[in-house]
Amino acid sequence: MSALAPHTIEAFNLSSTSENRIHDDTVAQSLGFTGGLVPGVEVYAYACHQPVARWGEAFLTRGEIMCRFLKPVYDGRIATVEADETPTGLDITVKSEGVLCATGSAALPPAAKVPLLPALLPPKPPAPEQREPASISSLAVGRPLGIRPETIDRDRLATYLEAVRESDPIYIREGIVHPGLLLRLCNSALKDNVLLAPWIHTGSKVRNFALARVGDVLTVRGKVAANYESKGHRLVDLDLTLVANDQTVVAHVLHTAIYQLRHLAEARA
């Protein structure tokens, strides 16, 4: 099988001052990391370069991709995305300074599946004004999740493309919202609904159905699909649907995060 040309990036931590202090150097170091973690959504953004290079706009319209984040990517370090062709699509790896940081796969199905009509999706509750601390009860299975609508303008898109070192001109040329920005909205479905200690996005599985374009009003509708323990961490799976202008399903996303790190649980015990 053939391989695509590697995609190399100098990683940049967009979230060093965010509410999630796992991206802060001091806090991350206190938890055993080298420094603040580059967000998983940006590592996902790096990975998406390869299937778009392979299939172009068709991937953004009807492709699918899965990524698992294994080790941190750090600010200022070089990350390399490699993709090998397989009988079913692409196998993808993200490595930084010799460390395997993420694995994934991407495919372009022969025809787009038909998504649920927006009217049949779960209702879109607004993010609450007062957030409860993340817990088994506040993230109970079945809890509906939503975000306040967001519109990505051309300036925000251009700023993001520069931050993730995206060299493909398709996004600016066609006014297409980058997949990494879309996955950031899925993070919002978690962080805007509960109050979180330092937390880590561990993986996502995305199925695209339509393009999101500059100027679209974007929302997320979904629910908590699972809440469980693994290796001392508490994790949550979110079943989410991205919708544009209340009428077009852009993507379906299964989104996983550690919302309570083992280190912090042990410190409170």
For the chain, the average pLDDT equals 91
Query: pTM of this prediction?
Result: 0.93
pLDDT band at 123 (very low <50, low <70, confident <90, very high): low
The token pair that represents 225 in the structure block: 């699909």
CA pair distance 65, 204, nearest whole angstrom: 8
Percentage of the chain modeled with pLDDT above 70? 91
How much is the average pLDDT of 124-144? 86
From residue 141, how far is each of 136, 193, 205, 254 by CA, in Å? 9, 14, 19, 14
Q: 209-234 pLDDT, tens per residue?
A: 999 999 999 999 899 999 999 999 99
- pLDDT for 109-120, tens place per residue? 987 666 666 655
CB neighbour class for 260 (10 Å; exposed up to 12, middle 13-18, buried from 19): buried
* Model pLDDT, residue 139: 97
Q: Return the higher-pLDDT residue of 226 and 264.
A: 226
pLDDT at res. 269:
43
Which of 251, 8, 56 has the alpha carbon at shortest distance from 170? 56
Q: Is the pLDDT of residue 264 over 80?
A: no
Q: CA-to-CA distance for 114 and 206, rounded, in angstroms?
A: 15
User: In the chain, what are the domains?
Assistant: 7-110+121-268 (3.10.129.10)
Instruction: Give the burial class of 166: count Cβ atoms within 10 A of its Cβ; 0-12 exposed, 13-18 middle, 19 or more buried.
Output: buried
Query: How do residues 135-164 score in pLDDT, each as one tens digit?
Result: 999 999 999 998 889 999 999 999 999 999
Q: How distant, in Å, are the alpha carbons of 7, 51, 127, 179, 252 from that of 159?
A: 20, 22, 26, 14, 25
